[in-house]
């Protein structure tokens, strides 16, 4: 589940023409962040326990240390030198911690990240046919 930007950076690609990235509610730790591991079956849109099981299926035969390899988990990559990033995540999203942790790491490495936490927003909130979704998509 690598981010294209981290994969390109590892290959020492020239990223100077990339203006930035808008990253919506990503899964950045393939071992599962605390919000995903503790999410309830009552979460809107994304069933948290099933999402965690799916991560485990995708990385079957691996332990958490292997799942957190930089080749799989962007949260474990060196983010230095990456272009600006806007992180957008809903307050009720089971992968909320992924965006919070990734934003902190990106900001510490590059000082060019922003974070929008959508109040009461579930996973995928920008894909819903609502005015809120339109405003979120305009932000990106």
In this prediction, residues 14-32 reach a mean pLDDT of 89
Tokens 């060196």, residue located: 78
Buried b (16+ CB within 10 A) or exposed e, 99-111: bbbbbebbbeeee
Are the C-beta atoms of residues 111 and 48 closer than 8 Å to each other? no
Residue 1 has a pLDDT of 45
Tokens 């996973």 appear where? 123
**pLDDT given at position 27:** 93
| Residue 85, strand partner residues | 21, 113
Asked if residues 51 and 29 have their Cβ atoms less than 8 Å apart, the reply is no
Q: What is the mean pLDDT of residues 120-126?
A: 89
Answer whether 0.85 is exceeded by the pTM.
yes
For residue range 24-60, list pLDDT tens digits in order: 999 999 999 999 999 887 777 777 888 889 999 999 9
Residue 136 pLDDT:
83
DSSP 94: T
pLDDT band for position 2 (50/70/90)? low
| Averaged pLDDT for residues 8-30 | 86
Q: Could you tell me which residues come within 8 angstroms of residue 29 by beta carbon, excluding any fewer than 6 positions away?
A: 67, 68, 73, 75, 76, 98, 101
Q: Report the alpha-carbon distance of residue 106 to residue 102 in Å, rounded.
A: 6
Mean pLDDT of 65-70: 95
pLDDT tens-digit map of 91-114: 999 999 999 999 999 999 999 999
CA nearest to 90, candidates 46, 56, 52, 129: 46
Note whether 109 and 79 are within 8 A (CB).
yes
């Amino acid at each position: 589940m690598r981010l294209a930007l981290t994969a390109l950076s590892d290959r020492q690609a020239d990223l100077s023409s990339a203006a930035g990235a808008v990253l919506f509610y990503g899964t950045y730790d393939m071992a599962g962040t605390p919000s995903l591991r503790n999410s309830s079956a009552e979460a809107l849109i994304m069933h948290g326990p099933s999402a965690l099981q799916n991560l485990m299926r995708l990385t079957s035969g691996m332990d958490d240390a292997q799942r957190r390899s930089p080749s799989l988990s962007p949260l474990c990559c060196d983010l230095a030198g990456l272009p600006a990033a806007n992180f957008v995540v809903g307050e009720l999203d089971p992968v909320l911690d992924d965006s919070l942790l990734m934003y902190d790491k990106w900001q510490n490495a590059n000082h060019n990240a922003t974070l929008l936490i959508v109040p009461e927003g579930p996973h995928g909130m920008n894909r819903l046919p609502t005015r809120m979704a339109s405003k979120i998509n305009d932000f990106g």
